[in-house]
Chain A
Protein backbone atom coordinates (compact mmCIF):
# COMPACT_ATOMS: atom_id res chain seq x y z
CA UNK A 1 0.00 0.00 0.00
CA UNK A 2 0.92 3.61 -0.23
CA UNK A 3 2.87 5.28 2.56
CA UNK A 4 4.61 8.60 3.07
CA UNK A 5 7.43 9.03 5.58
CA UNK A 6 8.89 12.25 6.97
CA UNK A 7 11.36 13.11 9.70
CA UNK A 8 9.47 14.58 12.66
CA UNK A 9 11.54 17.61 13.66
CA UNK A 10 13.92 20.16 12.18
CA UNK A 11 15.49 23.08 13.97
CA UNK A 12 17.31 25.89 12.14
CA UNK A 13 18.52 29.41 12.79
CA UNK A 14 16.94 32.41 11.10
CA UNK A 15 18.61 33.15 7.77
CA UNK A 16 19.79 29.56 7.23
CA UNK A 17 18.33 27.20 4.65
CA UNK A 18 15.94 24.46 5.75
CA UNK A 19 15.63 21.13 3.99
CA UNK A 20 12.64 18.93 4.76
CA UNK A 21 12.71 15.39 3.40
CA UNK A 22 10.01 12.92 2.46
CA UNK A 23 9.93 9.41 1.02
CA UNK A 24 6.96 7.77 -0.64
CA UNK A 25 6.32 4.21 -1.67
CA UNK A 26 3.91 4.24 -4.58
CA UNK A 27 5.84 4.31 -7.84
CA UNK A 28 2.73 5.34 -9.73
CA UNK A 29 2.47 8.59 -7.80
CA UNK A 30 1.96 11.42 -10.21
CA UNK A 31 1.70 14.61 -8.18
CA UNK A 32 3.51 15.31 -4.93
CA UNK A 33 2.57 18.21 -2.70
CA UNK A 34 3.90 20.27 0.17
CA UNK A 35 1.44 21.80 2.63
CA UNK A 36 2.13 24.06 5.62
CA UNK A 37 0.08 24.02 8.82
CA UNK A 38 0.40 26.71 11.45
CA UNK A 39 -0.86 26.05 15.01
CA UNK A 40 -4.62 25.66 15.17
CA UNK A 41 -5.04 26.27 11.45
CA UNK A 42 -5.88 24.33 8.31
CA UNK A 43 -3.44 23.35 5.57
CA UNK A 44 -1.93 25.89 3.22
CA UNK A 45 -0.78 24.62 -0.17
CA UNK A 46 2.85 25.66 -0.72
CA UNK A 47 3.80 23.98 -3.97
CA UNK A 48 3.53 20.77 -5.94
CA UNK A 49 5.56 18.88 -8.50
CA UNK A 50 4.63 16.47 -11.25
CA UNK A 51 6.48 13.17 -11.19
CA UNK A 52 8.14 13.74 -14.58
CA UNK A 53 9.96 16.79 -13.19
CA UNK A 54 13.20 16.81 -11.22
CA UNK A 55 12.99 20.26 -9.72
CA UNK A 56 10.61 23.15 -9.24
CA UNK A 57 11.48 26.56 -7.84
CA UNK A 58 9.05 29.13 -6.50
CA UNK A 59 10.61 32.18 -4.82
CA UNK A 60 12.27 30.89 -1.60
CA UNK A 61 11.01 27.34 -2.13
CA UNK A 62 12.81 24.65 -4.12
CA UNK A 63 11.35 21.16 -4.55
CA UNK A 64 13.65 18.32 -5.62
CA UNK A 65 12.32 14.95 -6.74
CA UNK A 66 14.40 11.78 -7.03
CA UNK A 67 12.00 9.37 -8.67
CA UNK A 68 14.42 6.44 -8.57
CA UNK A 69 14.72 6.65 -4.79
CA UNK A 70 11.13 7.94 -4.32
CA UNK A 71 12.55 10.87 -2.38
CA UNK A 72 11.13 14.38 -2.27
CA UNK A 73 12.64 17.39 -0.54
CA UNK A 74 11.55 20.95 0.17
CA UNK A 75 14.26 23.57 0.59
CA UNK A 76 13.35 26.92 2.15
CA UNK A 77 15.99 29.57 1.53
CA UNK A 78 16.63 32.36 4.07
CA UNK A 79 14.33 30.76 6.64
CA UNK A 80 12.36 33.23 8.76
CA UNK A 81 10.65 32.84 12.15
CA UNK A 82 7.32 33.02 10.30
CA UNK A 83 8.26 29.77 8.56
CA UNK A 84 7.91 27.91 11.88
CA UNK A 85 5.10 25.41 11.29
CA UNK A 86 4.38 21.78 10.46
CA UNK A 87 5.14 20.81 6.87
CA UNK A 88 3.29 17.91 5.26
CA UNK A 89 4.34 15.96 2.23
CA UNK A 90 1.45 14.37 0.31
CA UNK A 91 1.10 12.18 -2.76
CA UNK A 92 -1.72 11.64 -5.18
CA UNK A 93 -1.30 8.52 -7.23
CA UNK A 94 -4.35 8.60 -9.44
CA UNK A 95 -6.44 11.37 -10.87
CA UNK A 96 -9.34 12.36 -8.70
CA UNK A 97 -8.31 10.35 -5.67
CA UNK A 98 -7.32 11.16 -2.15
CA UNK A 99 -4.15 12.77 -0.94
CA UNK A 100 -1.97 10.50 1.20
CA UNK A 101 -0.14 12.50 3.85
CA UNK A 102 2.95 11.95 5.93
CA UNK A 103 2.88 12.67 9.65
CA UNK A 104 4.46 16.06 9.15
CA UNK A 105 7.79 17.70 9.98
CA UNK A 106 7.79 20.36 12.67
CA UNK A 107 10.13 23.19 11.64
CA UNK A 108 11.38 25.39 14.46
CA UNK A 109 13.21 28.60 13.51
CA UNK A 110 15.21 30.42 16.18
CA UNK A 111 16.38 34.02 15.92
Chain B
Protein backbone atom coordinates (compact mmCIF):
# COMPACT_ATOMS: atom_id res chain seq x y z
CA UNK B 1 0.00 0.00 0.00
CA UNK B 2 1.32 3.43 -0.95
CA UNK B 3 2.03 5.84 1.86
CA UNK B 4 0.00 8.49 0.00
CA UNK B 5 -3.25 7.61 -1.74
CA UNK B 6 -5.26 9.97 -3.90
CA UNK B 7 -8.79 9.65 -5.19
CA UNK B 8 -10.14 9.71 -7.72
CA UNK B 9 -7.39 8.79 -10.19
CA UNK B 10 -9.29 10.41 -13.03
CA UNK B 11 -12.03 13.00 -12.89
CA UNK B 12 -13.97 14.56 -15.75
CA UNK B 13 -16.41 17.38 -15.07
CA UNK B 14 -18.25 20.18 -16.81
CA UNK B 15 -17.16 23.77 -16.61
CA UNK B 16 -18.52 25.42 -13.51
CA UNK B 17 -18.71 22.31 -11.36
CA UNK B 18 -17.29 22.12 -7.83
CA UNK B 19 -14.34 19.74 -7.75
CA UNK B 20 -12.96 17.76 -4.83
CA UNK B 21 -9.78 15.71 -4.87
CA UNK B 22 -8.88 13.66 -1.81
CA UNK B 23 -5.58 12.60 -0.31
CA UNK B 24 -4.99 10.14 2.52
CA UNK B 25 -1.64 9.28 4.03
CA UNK B 26 -0.45 6.67 6.47
CA UNK B 27 2.72 8.20 7.91
CA UNK B 28 3.59 11.01 10.31
CA UNK B 29 4.10 14.20 8.39
CA UNK B 30 5.41 17.68 8.99
CA UNK B 31 3.62 19.22 6.01
CA UNK B 32 1.47 18.37 3.00
CA UNK B 33 1.77 19.92 -0.45
CA UNK B 34 -0.69 20.14 -3.30
CA UNK B 35 0.97 20.41 -6.71
CA UNK B 36 -0.33 20.97 -10.23
CA UNK B 37 1.27 19.44 -13.30
CA UNK B 38 0.15 20.60 -16.72
CA UNK B 39 0.57 18.79 -20.03
CA UNK B 40 4.14 19.47 -21.00
CA UNK B 41 5.07 18.58 -17.47
CA UNK B 42 5.94 21.66 -15.44
CA UNK B 43 5.05 21.37 -11.75
CA UNK B 44 3.64 24.25 -9.75
CA UNK B 45 3.22 24.27 -6.00
CA UNK B 46 -0.33 25.28 -5.08
CA UNK B 47 -0.39 24.93 -1.31
CA UNK B 48 1.69 23.84 1.63
CA UNK B 49 -0.34 22.91 4.70
CA UNK B 50 0.50 21.76 8.17
CA UNK B 51 -2.93 22.42 9.65
CA UNK B 52 -6.33 23.90 8.92
CA UNK B 53 -7.29 25.43 5.63
CA UNK B 54 -5.84 27.68 2.95
CA UNK B 55 -7.53 29.50 0.10
CA UNK B 56 -6.07 31.00 -3.06
CA UNK B 57 -8.51 32.31 -5.61
CA UNK B 58 -10.83 29.47 -6.59
CA UNK B 59 -8.69 26.85 -4.88
CA UNK B 60 -9.18 25.70 -1.30
CA UNK B 61 -7.07 23.13 0.53
CA UNK B 62 -7.87 21.57 3.87
CA UNK B 63 -6.08 19.12 6.09
CA UNK B 64 -7.18 17.01 9.06
CA UNK B 65 -4.06 15.87 10.85
CA UNK B 66 -5.90 13.48 13.18
CA UNK B 67 -7.60 11.71 10.28
CA UNK B 68 -4.51 11.95 8.02
CA UNK B 69 -6.57 13.34 5.21
CA UNK B 70 -6.47 16.38 2.97
CA UNK B 71 -8.77 17.70 0.27
CA UNK B 72 -8.27 20.08 -2.61
CA UNK B 73 -11.36 21.90 -3.82
CA UNK B 74 -11.81 23.92 -6.99
CA UNK B 75 -14.83 26.19 -7.19
CA UNK B 76 -16.34 27.31 -10.52
CA UNK B 77 -14.06 24.99 -12.45
CA UNK B 78 -12.72 26.05 -15.84
CA UNK B 79 -11.12 24.15 -18.72
CA UNK B 80 -7.78 25.76 -17.86
CA UNK B 81 -7.92 23.89 -14.54
CA UNK B 82 -7.39 20.68 -16.52
CA UNK B 83 -4.16 19.18 -15.21
CA UNK B 84 -2.80 16.47 -12.95
CA UNK B 85 -3.09 17.36 -9.26
CA UNK B 86 -0.58 15.72 -6.99
CA UNK B 87 -0.61 15.40 -3.22
CA UNK B 88 2.81 15.12 -1.56
CA UNK B 89 3.78 14.78 2.09
CA UNK B 90 6.93 15.66 3.96
CA UNK B 91 7.77 12.76 6.23
CA UNK B 92 8.45 13.80 9.83
CA UNK B 93 12.17 14.07 10.40
CA UNK B 94 13.05 13.86 6.70
CA UNK B 95 13.36 16.62 4.15
CA UNK B 96 11.88 14.82 1.17
CA UNK B 97 8.47 14.51 -0.43
CA UNK B 98 6.49 11.33 -0.89
CA UNK B 99 3.98 11.69 -3.69
CA UNK B 100 0.55 10.36 -4.46
CA UNK B 101 -0.10 8.96 -7.92
CA UNK B 102 -1.91 12.10 -8.99
CA UNK B 103 -5.46 12.87 -10.09
CA UNK B 104 -5.98 13.68 -13.75
CA UNK B 105 -8.66 16.35 -13.95
CA UNK B 106 -10.39 17.24 -17.20
CA UNK B 107 -12.85 20.10 -17.29
CA UNK B 108 -15.00 20.19 -20.42
CA UNK B 109 -16.45 23.45 -21.71
A and B held together in a complex: no
* Chain A residues packing against B (C-beta within 8 Å): none
* Chain B residues packing against A (C-beta within 8 Å): none
